Amino acid sequence: MEEIKTNGLQEKDEISEDMQLLNDVTKNEYKWGFITDIESDTAPKGLNEEIVRFISLKKGEPEWMTEWRLKAFRHWQTMEEPKWPNVKYPKIDFQDIIYYSAPKKKPQLDSLDEVDPELLKTFEKLGIPLEEQKILSGVAVDAVFDSVSVATTFKETLKEKGVIFSSVSEALKDHPELVKKYLGSVVPYTDNYYAALNAAVFSDGSFVYIPKGVRCPMELSTYFRINNEETGQFERTLIIAEEGSYVSYLEGCTAPIRDTNQLHAAVVELVILENAEIKYSTVQNWYPGNSEGKGGIYNFVTKRAACRGNHSKVSWTQVETGSAVTWKYPSCILQGDYSVGEFYSVAVTNNYQQADTGTKMIHLGKNTSSTIISKGISAGKSNNSYRGLVKVGKKADNARNFTQCDSMLMGDKCGAHTFPYIEIENDTAKVEHEATTSKVGEDQIFYLNQRGISTEDAVNMIVNGFCKEVFNELPMEFAVEAQKLLAISLESSVG
């Protein structure tokens, strides 16, 4: 009895030490929080047909686009919010949201000098010096600042190749036939509650068109940023890769500190034709709320790729560290024969964050294959869920899937969950699913300590090792940023 008691006490001490370390994490302030003051042109709060028309009018859209938005809005009114995700949040009052706000000055720019200096400062604080990127990295940046594109660089270079990289509203003016053909073809407005809402009120987003046989000469990148308080951000991205083309697209987000929850319901549509490939990488670092779980972004995103042609390929890579609530399932519809879908994900939750994320691999064509690597790390009082679907249709002969989802828990107040759905209708399918849950091993930390590495660095190393398979898939610039983000998100947390 005596012995057991002492053991118990010791354990308690260890736990309180851990708690101390965990507390240090929660004190970690959100490093990207600041507010830019720009007079914006804002719609009144609330949502009705008038507002939908207002948005459409503001953007100078053609009649069919307005009609499409209205149809989506009417459909949205008949739908109910999904209740199945493993997340909890107060009910959203959709009438208490401003659906349109745009920076007032919107000059057509060719060089950075013409950009509002305050905007430029914001980007610098974010660590995205446009001029530097322009010169050094060769990355074209379409900076979406609170719903409207302000500056687009490298347009000229892309133009030579025939690549279209612009905001959706510009594309509607310049290439209406392309937008009309593909918008809503992968994610129809009837798809789900938030997709319908997005279709009705989306403010802007990126449009990419890679013509036949073109390998996009640079990595395309858009930085999103929520700026105006109480603005819901509804982005819509549409990327079309024509036969034999290739593009790598980067998306990264940061947002300022806010007390009221902000809704973010984006839609991303990818269309991949024969022999084409799209690589889509995301680093998501929206404001996750403070250590009491107050504030933070609701991130309800519909992302889907349609591999329409034979030998087409799509690869989703995501590093999710932000948002109070994340609800996101980048999916691959593998229609073409020999098409390939990949999903690499690291999702980190801390404090009161909740993430319900995963992917859907829908095998329809013959000889299709898919890979899912998902790494979930939960700390603090957060909940991290993997929810995925692997479906092999009746005609999808020789489909192949490999799924691995690993979870890591730090502290004893967090949760890690897996909900994998596997639906197989073809006997030639080979599907494997593996999942493990573990914590940072004491022996691993001990080993590194013994070599003079501090516990904090040791944890960072172990976590980085845990996520390596995913980081390897990220483009260089992003991989660096992702590692930094991970270190910040989990600073001094020891399991």
Told to check if 433 binds other proteins by CB under 8 A, we report yes
Q: Which stretch binds other proteins (CB under 8 A): 164-172, 246-254, 357-365, 437-445?
A: 437-445
Nearest distance from C-beta of residue 290 to other proteins, angstroms: 23
Query: From CA 292, how far away is CA 493, in angstroms rounded?
Result: 17
Nearest distance from C-beta of residue 422 to other proteins, angstroms: 4
Binding mask 343-382 for other proteins (x = CB under 8 A): ----------------------------------------
Residues 6+ apart with CB under 8 A from 317: 279, 280, 281, 282, 343, 344, 345, 470, 473, 474
Nearest distance from C-beta of residue 458 to other proteins, angstroms: 17
Q: Is the dihedral of CA 143, 145, 151, 152 positive or negative?
A: positive
- Footprint on residues 439-458 left by other proteins (CB under 8 A): 439
Q: Which residues pair with 214 in a beta bridge?
A: none
Nearest distance from C-beta of residue 379 to other proteins, angstroms: 9
DSSP β-ladder status, 206-210 and 164-167 = antiparallel
Nearest distance from C-beta of residue 419 to other proteins, angstroms: 5
In the complex with other proteins, which residue's Cβ is closer, 26 or 42? 26
Q: With left for phi above 0 and alpha for psi between -120 and 50, is residue 21 left, alpha or beta?
A: alpha
In the complex with other proteins, which residue's Cβ is closer, 140 or 396? 396
* Residue environment code for 49-67, b if the CB has 16+ CB neighbours within 10 A, otherwise e: eebbebbbeebebeeebbe
Nearest distance from C-beta of residue 471 to other proteins, angstroms: 23
Q: Is the dihedral of CA 154, 156, 160, 165 positive or negative?
A: positive
Q: Contact, 251 vs 478, CB < 8 A?
A: no
Residues 6+ apart with CB under 8 A from 457: 448
In the complex with other proteins, which residue's Cβ is closer, 59 or 366? 366
Told to check if 428 binds other proteins by CB under 8 A, we report yes
In the complex with other proteins, which residue's Cβ is closer, 50 or 434? 434
- Exactly one of 103, 244, 289, 495 binds other proteins (CB under 8 A); that residue is 495
Q: How many residues bind other proteins (CB under 8 A)?
A: 35
Q: Contact, 47 vs 199, CB < 8 A?
A: no
Told to check if 430 binds other proteins by CB under 8 A, we report yes
In the complex with other proteins, which residue's Cβ is closer, 237 or 418? 418
- Exactly one of 431, 445, 459, 486 binds other proteins (CB under 8 A); that residue is 431
* CA 149 distance to own-chain centroid: 19
DSSP state of 77: H
Query: From CA 302, how far away is CA 236, in angstroms rounded?
Result: 10
Closest CA to 474 of 340, 331, 281: 281
Binding mask 388-427 for other proteins (x = CB under 8 A): ------x------------x-xxxxxxxxxxxxxxxxxxx
In the complex with other proteins, which residue's Cβ is closer, 254 or 493? 493
In the complex with other proteins, which residue's Cβ is closer, 65 or 410? 410
In the complex with other proteins, which residue's Cβ is closer, 53 or 417? 417
Q: Contact, 388 vs 360, CB < 8 A?
A: yes
Nearest distance from C-beta of residue 403 to other proteins, angstroms: 8
Residues 6+ apart with CB under 8 A from 226: 146, 233, 255, 256, 262, 264, 286, 297
In the complex with other proteins, which residue's Cβ is closer, 8 or 90? 8
Q: Where are the beta strands (DSSP E) in 172-296?
A: 206-210, 220-225, 236-241, 246-254, 262-264, 267-272, 277-285
Nearest distance from C-beta of residue 436 to other proteins, angstroms: 5
**Please, what is the Cα angle at 361 between 237 and 166, to 5 degrees?**
15
Nearest distance from C-beta of residue 412 to other proteins, angstroms: 5
Binding mask 259-298 for other proteins (x = CB under 8 A): ----------------------------------------
Q: Which residues pair with 235 in a beta bridge?
A: 204
Q: Which stretch binds other proteins (CB under 8 A): 157-165, 236-244, 255-263, 429-437?
A: 429-437
Closest CA to 191 of 63, 64, 360, 57: 360
Nearest distance from C-beta of residue 360 to other proteins, angstroms: 14
Nearest distance from C-beta of residue 405 to other proteins, angstroms: 9
Q: Is 310 exposed, middle or buried (0-12, 13-18, 19+ CB in 10 A)?
A: middle
- Footprint on residues 91-130 left by other proteins (CB under 8 A): none
Told to check if 434 binds other proteins by CB under 8 A, we report yes
Nearest distance from C-beta of residue 450 to other proteins, angstroms: 21
Binding mask 61-90 for other proteins (x = CB under 8 A): -----------------------x------
Residues contributing to the site for other proteins (CB under 8 A): 84, 394, 407, 409-439, 495
